[in-house]
Structure 1
Amino acid sequence: MSLDRRMFLRATAVAGGAAAFSGALWHQAFAAGPAQPGPSPYGPLQAADANGLQLPEGFTSRIVARSLQRVEGTRHTWHPAPDGGACFPDGDGWIYVSNSEVPLVGGVSAIRFDASGKITSAYRTLNGTTLNCAGGATPWNTWLSCEEHDLGLVWETDPRGQQKAVARPAMGRFKHEAAAADPERKVVYLTEDQSDGCFYRFRPRTWGDLSSGTLEVLVGNGTGPVEWAKVPSPNIWLTPTREQVAGAMRFRGGEGCHYTHGVCYFTTKGDNRVWAYDAAAEQLDIAYAPDLVTEGEAPLRGVDNVTADAAGDLFVAEDGDNMEINLITTDGIVTPFLRILGHDESEITGPAFSPDGSRLYFSSQRGKSGFIAGTDGYTFEVTGPFRH
């Protein structure tokens, strides 16, 4: 099937706009198969700017933080190995939170911006945890910071730093990666960074209170209809959560996770797939995979953290490869959005949009040095005409 034909099918399915890109329409959009390479809606990448970023025309960048250095205008020292992140509204400005993927001291830091984008403060919101990898924002404006080790917990944190962070053991003890809240079904989806990991959802007893509820695991035989089964012992176990339910689906290293327009997208690094779980229909499909590219060369490899803009386009960060954030557009095109030069041994982490959608934040976890401890991490901001 030609690329033009694929684009036509997808464009037809999403003709109602991004708000309609959900449920049955999502399945129509991808009836032609997973996303294929094509032109970016933002145009080609330009020459690298002073910060080493190749961006489309009309976009600019700045470095807002460096690991083990004070955040400009504050007395706060930015953490090593910046990982998952999210933005939250705060008065007339906003806050960007970022995990630290190091052992023992991990935790979360935050940067507050005023309405003009000026940094006004930076501070810690969680201390003394270990290997805080990714996570997810909640509709009630807290940040779920996930520990990536066998007995890892989800910590619910206050981006403003005013409330004490609280562990949420009911959400399971396992090698957590990312979380994504689904306010329609009132659940939180969770990925697991194991080579034979699972995909979970947590159903809190009361929406907005994660202290108690039911952890469930996805059960099925591949793409198509799937269902959920209760994990018997999510918190205190001798048998790991991923081994407790017969028929639980296996995924090769769960990474990023993001819910938008009725679909939960998540990535798996072992096979470079971007999965799409249609929450209403309870069906699983593949939104992108390099081995399923039939039109040209696959631009996206090393899939990792993922977010989406207001238009419904996905922004997928690469762990390694050529250090890009790639778009997967609502019409099924996969294409580079930006590239970082000179950070060859690093990975891109923590992509998140400001509340108004005009700025994209992300980090290069190990920076130019590539040192595994992440002491050379960079956190960037990109501003420009993002689609809405």
Structure 2
Amino acid sequence: MERRNFLRVAVVGTAAAAFGGASWAEAFAAGAQPGPSPYGPPQAVDASGLMIPAGFTSRVVARSGQKVASTSYTWHPAPDGGACFADGGGWIYVSNSEVSSTGGVGAIRFSSTGDITGAYRTLSGTNVNCAGGATPWGTWLSCEEVDRGRVFETDPWGVTAAVARPAMGRFKHEACAADADHGYVYLTEDVTDGCFYRFKPTTWGDLSTGTLEVMVGATSQTSGPVTWKVVPDPDGSPTATRSQVSGAKRFNGGEGCYYAGGTCWFTTKGDNRVWAYDAGASTISLTYDDSLVTSGTAPLTGVDNITRSTSGDLFVAEDGGNMEICLITPNGVVAPFLRVPNQTSSEITGPAFSPAGDRLYFSSQRGTSGSSSGGITYEVTGPFRR
């Protein structure tokens, strides 16, 4: 059967309600295709070095190796996955550091008006902290992207010491997403024959114990029902977690992961796909595949971190490509939202919205220098759809 015939997004019920009645299943029946952005095209390069739509503004909030404004904290190298947490009337943006041995997590605190009021470390001395995910109980899960890497649960306020969560599996972690509706945390694995996992805590809100499972299905399968099997040894030694379960479905380079409204979206960089897992029906489908674009050039390549706006638009960052953050709307349009020009040796990381949904944070991991010491973290403010 042609791959195009598999292109569906099975998101119904609670998801439709979450998107104001728009059904992703109907919108993507023909596949996410290029079209005009609801925000218009990116404009000429602004003072921050970004190309953003008309009506939006931007600023640089941090640079690797330099003190964050009005603080004593030196922003970490290679900023990667990130998330925002409400902090009274303000918020906190946390960011991983994807470097060996001295990785970890840093945080920037903002007032209700967006002024920077603090910056600090919440995790130190870990290894290649790539992406992760926020929990409903207000912690940040920071994932190590190394063989037998760990997940660390960290406190965005920097008060409680970070704790390793080995029950969530030791493998080459990328990202994770908490599903409070069904009581799971989903996890991606960044290898060419990686798997998609879910962790069921013994007690929701406590990640110290639980059951790790892996998705089971044909590797060629792009839609339809899937099942899950328990990973016998989450420690991953001597046998890697992805090699312990017969029939585990393979994904080509798992990257970003985000849960909302009954669906977990995740990306795979090896084939430039955005997937959707319907948690209620236990089915998978494709939201986007660059090889299935039917007209013009695929706008989204090098898929990586993913997040979602309050309106239901997905925002997908590029690792390479032409250094864009592209959006995928609930009506099946994929289009560039912004571009980071003149930084071809970098990648875009850590997209996350402020709690109010009017500010988008992200980083260029290696900036203009092409080195982990040249990271730049940005804020874009404007009339995001609600």
**TM-score normalised by L of structure 1:** 0.94
Shift of 1:16: 6.2
Name the structure 2 match of 1:381: 379
Do residues 48 (structure 1) and 49 (structure 2) align? no
Shift of 1:151: 1.1
Name the structure 2 match of 1:156: 153
Aligned residue identity for 1:121: G
Q: Is the 8 A contact 1:147 1:154 kept in 2?
A: yes
Q: Is the 8 A contact 1:20 1:261 kept in 2?
A: no
Report the count of equivalent residues: 372
Name the structure 2 match of 1:93: 90
SS at match of 1:54: coil
SS at match of 1:129: coil
Aligned residue identity for 2:144: E
Q: Residues 357-376 of structure 1: matches in 2 within 5 Å?
A: 357-371=357-371, 374-376=372-374
Q: Is the 8 A contact 1:37 1:335 kept in 2?
A: yes
Name the structure 2 match of 1:281: 281
Name the structure 2 match of 1:245: 245
User: Structure 2: how far apart are the matches of 1:123 and 1:268?
Assistant: 32
Identity of aligned residues (%): 67
Q: Residues 137-152 of structure 1: matches in 2 within 5 Å?
A: 137-152=134-149
Q: Which runs of 4+ in 1 moved over 2 A?
A: 14-17, 25-32
Residues 214/19 of structure 1: CA separation in 2 closer, same or farther (3 Å cut): farther
Shift of 1:235: 1.5
User: Structure 2: how far apart are the matches of 1:17 and 1:194?
Assistant: 32
Name the structure 1 match of 2:209: 212
Shift of 1:28: 3.1
Do residues 192 (structure 1) and 193 (structure 2) align? no
Name the structure 2 match of 1:30: 28
Shift of 1:236: 5.0
Do residues 259 (structure 1) and 292 (structure 2) align? no
Aligned residue identity for 2:373: T
Q: Is the 8 A contact 1:252 1:271 kept in 2?
A: yes
Q: Is the 8 A contact 1:200 1:216 kept in 2?
A: yes
Q: Is the 8 A contact 2:107 2:156 kept in 1?
A: yes
Q: Is the 8 A contact 1:227 1:282 kept in 2?
A: yes
Q: Residues 1-388 of structure 1: matches in 2 within 5 Å?
A: 18-20=19-21, 25-32=23-30, 34-221=31-218, 222=221, 223-371=223-371, 374-388=372-386
Shift of 1:264: 0.6
Q: Is the 8 A contact 1:19 1:261 kept in 2?
A: no
Aligned residue identity for 1:213: G
User: Structure 2: how far apart are the matches of 1:249 and 1:84?
Assistant: 25
Aligned residue identity for 1:170: A
Shift of 1:296: 2.2
User: Structure 2: how far apart are the matches of 1:36 and 1:29?
Assistant: 10
Q: Deviations over 1:59-104 (max 9, x none)?
A: 0000000000000100100000000000000111100000000000
Name the structure 2 match of 1:3: none
Consecutive unaligned residues in structure 2, runs of 5 or more: 1-6
Aligned residue identity for 1:135: G
Consecutive unaligned residues in structure 1, runs of 5 or more: 1-5
Q: Is the 8 A contact 1:261 1:312 kept in 2?
A: no
SS at match of 2:26: helix
User: Structure 1: how far apart are the matches of 2:139 and 2:214?
Assistant: 24
Shift of 1:260: 1.4
Aligned residue identity for 2:232: P
